[in-house]
Amino acid sequence: MLEKKTAVVTGSTSGIGLACARAFAEQGANVVINGFGEADAIEAERSGIEKDFGVRCIYSAADMTRPDEIANMISNAENELGSVDVLMNNAGIQHVAPVDEFPIDKWNAIIAINLSSAFHAIRAAVPGMKKRGWGRIINTASAHALVASPYKSAYVAAKHGIAGLTKTVALEVAQQGVTVNAICPGYVWTPLVEAQIPDTMKARNMTEDEVKRDVLLQAQPTKQFVTVEQVAGFAVFLCSPTASAITGSILSMDGGWTAQ
């Protein structure tokens, strides 16, 4: 379905992003992966994508807090792989603390990586998509783009911002063959979620099991984590001809969380 196309996925050296990069490659797309991690582990994932799916895969170390590096990532992808047809803005970090104790540097970093980086990547990729008359922009949002939880002021603000950015850009490119949507998962078991458990334990004076049961999955009626494979399958669907009329949508995938 995505043969001769290129997908750029930010924050894709693990978790949701890596699953989506592999899913796009399985559909025939060349891919750009991006993120931090051990060099050997990243190279293993990059070469594994090429071996498993017979596509090209390049790694960008672009820092999602630096607009110039984000623009260069898109430009390099266009130069090396010919185009950027699918852009998935997935990079994200988290910090959990009461608002009156929330570190200012953590606020700034979360807004930069979870929200502003998507703007910079979209700004760089849209001209090429317009020129070719086809593009798919998929933003990884969260149930927290629709509802809030305590102690996550920066994350919730960023994800609400992603929802607004998604709708605005979708309207701007609606007649140019480009769709823009946001996937809003509930809790997905990823390194990002796992890493916030200690802070949540401290903030709420809970054990790890209590955090999982009474905080993470308390709001999800299914009482199950969303899987990275489910998110990746949804992202692939949004690139399909069947989904071409879906744009500007904030799409819940949260085990019923926001139905309540």
Which residues are identified as catalytic? 155
CA dihedral sign of residues 64, 70, 72, 78: positive
Helix 228-238 vs helix 15-26: crossing angle, to nearest 10: 50
One DSSP character per residue, 55-71 reads: S-EEEE---TT-HHHHH
Tell me the C-alpha distance between 61 and 72, whole Å. 11
98 Cβ neighbours under 8 A, 6+ residues apart: 150, 151, 203
Strand order in the sheet with 135-140: 57-60, 30-34, 6-9, 86-89, 135-140, 178-185, 250-253
Distances (CA, A) of 122 to 48, 148, 151, 158: 27, 26, 29, 16
Helix (H) or strand (E) holding 138: strand 135-140
Q: Is 97 helix (H, G, I), strand (E, B) or coil?
A: coil
110 Cβ neighbours under 8 A, 6+ residues apart: 93, 94, 95, 154, 155, 158
Tell me the C-alpha distance between 114 and 36, whole Å. 15
Residue 100 contacts residue 116 (beta carbons within 8 Å): no
